[in-house]
Structure 1
């Protein structure tokens, strides 16, 4: 399914006259700091809140709206639907002892993995303490900055490192992968899933004249100013290979934006992909466009409204690309 999703052109459902499709249904060494009170004294900008620990290191908000968009329902479900209800694709052994989920967000992936693998110790790290108070006994969360050049974890102690949606968060990806390599046990695995910050179409219905086609240029400009890479989904395979990993495998997927595909599975993925973008638009744009490009809050909200209109236009067949790379640290390291 992965190869077909990535390589075959998506056929358009010509029977869609508007944005509603009943066939889909309703689903659409770094500092590890304890949870001190100052960490939850979040910064507020443009009506959204942002993490306080290493303020400014991450561009997205951490409020309830962001948590729902990021992991708790929409994004996590979208990945599960894409992976046929699997939490990972790497060929892990039946038993893993220590798992690190970097950029855990709400912690839902770490909690699900801990539930499925009660023998494993699962650690989720993030800049924001937004994870739930309840969790499986084999799961815990730590406040940590994955962009720091020296992690607290000892060399060769982790069995599996999981990374998802960290584009725009890391200053030096080679340094990041070096730390992944160092902390993994010989024979341990890394898996990273990233999606494109932009959109395209196979039938030229999305152009630069549409906000959907224009979207990526502003992101590239912002993160160039920040000195952080947002096109990592295209480059992570090569950088992981350069870090010394072996058995490197890349899988490519397409997420249609909306329910325009004829194929039922892709139609459902499109509904979830659109919901993911819809709920995340302001969080992805407010801080960077106002703080770096000088936009007003009203201009950003109007731009997001235009993007929502494009996503609901059945004549625009936008596609969001997502890639997964998994690789193994050599057993003889």
Structure 2
């Protein structure tokens, strides 16, 4: 079926033919969800929708750092393992050395990250948050940037499980939204939805920022944001509304949902993923799309600079504690087979890397790195305390003492690391009824991943 698609960006401000794309995502740190759950990070994708479709399933990856850059401070030399190679891990075996799995033999390197000629923020000009004049910020200005942004847009956020719903967590959700828009090159979604959607659902809307900004971009679309807690947005729009809904229970929307697009991100490891996806399937129009974005919060260190650090030990202990809780930081990998099982078609998997700090050269990557550092520092203790004390048996004082060293290492640019932001887009078959379809969409294709290409 031929139809106009909308990737959520303003093409008038985007570079013609800019970017590269084989999608497969990754990156920051998110809020935990459901009982013993937690949200993992993830971030970014590029333009140029190049993909291979095999039996209704696609895998894509964005491209980035790791090219010969010895001339630059903190750059990678030609003999250093590229972060692109590390990011392409399939994450099949979480116990593999240095957390890097099955690196494909083919390696695409980004060749023009020279920020000396990078005087414009073209991809960011397409992102216009409500009541904000500019999103530009780089280097030493990034702190003022996110503080100003948070002050204007912070509102109530939702959480399931481990992280308390404090003002600090509200601030972090706004920062994280900014990171994802940055990584997605100004786009609000990756699913190839119709250019004129009529009904859109934002699941786990949190502060409501995404829902409000999508509604602003699509004035003739009715947008509904739902969360487990009441949403108190900083602004209102006539075509955007909010409801308090626990999405782990049965969904009961007017007209049976009948949505063109269902957007889900940073929910965390909810226990009944199959029920969540079945609810999304049942509430989509035939031909409608669902999009899920989560972080795989496993640190990837291409040059092994994290070896022996407190930050690496913290990440290993966090995964150990999550397993004690009966979950894992790799939980987003469970979504793809469940989407197939539920009956979705044309499954697109996108992985992108989000750097932990400003260790990579280039204005855009440095800005993302600064924001990611703040994201980490805000989530570190609220996330660590319940896992380490309840699952690992540490005392609160032991946790606080240990985190002193971790906090020092996170912003230190001599440590090169990133996380994976993973996104799944899937379409409800056109010939499907409004009720659930149990037919599985059998598909297989080799997946790749890499850091985002940001020029």
Structure 1 moving runs of 4+ over 6 Å:
none
Asked if the contact 1:50/1:61 (under 8 Å) is kept, the reply is no
Following the alignment from structure 1 to structure 2, what is the Cα–Cα distance between the partners of residues 140 and 299? 45
In structure 2, the CA distance between the partners of 1:262 and 1:200, relative to structure 1 (3 Å rule), is: same
In structure 2, the CA distance between the partners of 1:143 and 1:16, relative to structure 1 (3 Å rule), is: same
Structure 1 SS opposite 2:139: coil
Q: Gaps (5+ residues) in structure 1?
A: 29-48
Select 1:113's aligned residue among 190, 195, 214.
Answer: 214
Are 2:179 and 1:78 aligned? yes
Structure 2 SS opposite 1:85: coil
Asked if the contact 2:284/2:428 (under 8 Å) is kept, the reply is yes
- Which residue does the alignment assign to 1:62? 165
Task: Tell me by how many angstroms 1:201 deviates.
Answer: 0.6
Are 2:126 and 1:126 aligned? no
Following the alignment from structure 2 to structure 1, what is the Cα–Cα distance between the partners of residues 333 and 375? 21
In structure 2, the CA distance between the partners of 1:25 and 1:129, relative to structure 1 (3 Å rule), is: same
Following the alignment from structure 2 to structure 1, what is the Cα–Cα distance between the partners of residues 303 and 421? 19
- Greater RCO between the two (CA within 8 Å, min separation 6)? 2
Select 1:10's aligned residue among 58, 66, 81.
Answer: 66
Q: Gaps (5+ residues) in structure 2?
A: 1-18, 23-45, 47-60, 76-136, 144-155, 433-455
Task: Tell me by how many angstroms 1:258 deviates.
Answer: 1.3
Are 2:305 and 1:205 aligned? yes
Following the alignment from structure 1 to structure 2, what is the Cα–Cα distance between the partners of residues 137 and 293? 48
Following the alignment from structure 1 to structure 2, what is the Cα–Cα distance between the partners of residues 123 and 298? 43
RMSD, matched Cα: 2.8
TM-score with structure 2 length normalisation?
A: 0.60
Asked if the contact 2:305/2:415 (under 8 Å) is kept, the reply is yes
- Alignment length, in residue pairs? 300
Asked if the contact 2:157/2:169 (under 8 Å) is kept, the reply is no
Asked if the contact 2:74/2:414 (under 8 Å) is kept, the reply is no
Task: Tell me by how many angstroms 1:313 deviates.
Answer: 2.4
TM-score with structure 1 length normalisation?
A: 0.80
Q: Which has the higher helix share?
A: 1
In structure 2, the CA distance between the partners of 1:283 and 1:115, relative to structure 1 (3 Å rule), is: farther
- Which residue does the alignment assign to 2:201? 100
- Which residue does the alignment assign to 1:297? 396
Select 1:245's aligned residue among 334, 341, 344.
Answer: 344
Alignment of 1:1-333 (within 5 A): 1=19, 2-3=21-22, 6-11=62-67, 15-16=73-74, 24-27=139-142, 57-70=160-173, 72=174, 74-132=175-233, 134-148=235-249, 150-153=250-253, 155=256, 157-168=258-269, 170-207=270-307, 209-228=308-327, 230-333=329-432
Question: Structure 1 residues 108-117 or 303-312, which shifts more?
Answer: 303-312
Task: Tell me by how many angstroms 1:238 deviates.
Answer: 2.9
Asked if the contact 2:74/2:361 (under 8 Å) is kept, the reply is no
